[in-house]
Amino acid sequence: MTQGTAIIVGAGPGLGFALARSFAAAGHSIALLARNADKLDTLATELRNDSIDARGYAADASDPASLRAALTKAIDELGAPEALIYNAALLRQDTPTDGDDAGWVNALAVGVLGAKVAAETVLPALAGGRGSLLFTGGGLALAPSPEFASLSVAKAAIRAYATTLFNQHKGTDVHATSVTIAGNIGGGEDRFAPDALAALYLGLHQQPATEWSDELLVK
């Protein structure tokens, strides 16, 4: 059975690729968004070689105009979305007082503003007004690091944003939630393997409304 499109912002060879396979197996066409067009083409080609309807759309998540344009094109070409997975973040070492204003602006644009832009773009287009908005969080939201300060702030903010979106859409057919991954993705522990995590995202998307909450903590 064909489902609505699943849009993955921040698609890469790890969790993003596993998410694509997981949602494709459930009948969704896949839109992959990331900044590097060549890497996107490689991922999309590998998926298509396995008979998965997947296309790549180059976008800079720190640039609202670029992200909106890519999302709109994906929706126009693949059809109404049913799931948005926002998996973009900027991993950089920095401190709370590093003096790097531009670096912080860019990090928070990718990690937080991009999520808002994506949600605002996808929500009006959801197939039948129903669907899931899933945001990749992280353990740094719960235990901030002074060596990864901007990422810690971004993960705390994405967690809060998902909660505000969840509360805004209570009583509707829209499920917004964050997946707070308090561990190293692909670091050797089975529960943090990309495929295992991707299955959790799909499970959230398929959850009955009576089980919805604003966060899934994986630890």
In terms of C-beta density within 10 A (0-12 exposed, 13-18 middle, 19 or more buried), how is residue 58 classed?
middle
The domain in which residue 57 lies consists of 5-218
Percentage of the chain surpassing pLDDT 70?
A: 99
What pLDDT sits at residue 2?
64
Asked if pLDDT for residue 63 goes beyond 70, the answer is yes
The total number of structural domains that make up the chain:
1
Asked if pLDDT for residue 1 goes beyond 70, the answer is no
Mean pLDDT of the chain: 97
What is the arithmetic mean of pLDDT over 140-164?
Answer: 98
What pLDDT sits at residue 19?
98
Q: What is the DSSP letter of 182?
A: -
Q: Could you tell me the pLDDT band of residue 123, with boundaries at 50, 70 and 90? A: very high
Residue entry with tokens 């994506």: 118
What pLDDT sits at residue 84?
98
The DSSP bridge partners found for residue 58 are 34
Identify whether the C-beta of residue 81 lies closer than 8 Å to the C-beta of residue 131.
Answer: yes
Q: 145: domain CATH number? A: 3.40.50.720
Q: Could you tell me the pLDDT band of residue 68, with boundaries at 50, 70 and 90? A: very high
pLDDT single digits (tens) 8-37:
999 999 999 999 999 999 999 999 999 999
Q: Is 2 helix (H, G, I), strand (E, B) or coil?
A: coil
What pLDDT sits at residue 60?
97
- 169 HSE (CA, 13 A, CB side): 25
Asked if pLDDT for residue 122 goes beyond 70, the answer is yes
Asked if pLDDT for residue 112 goes beyond 60, the answer is yes
Asked if pLDDT for residue 138 goes beyond 90, the answer is yes
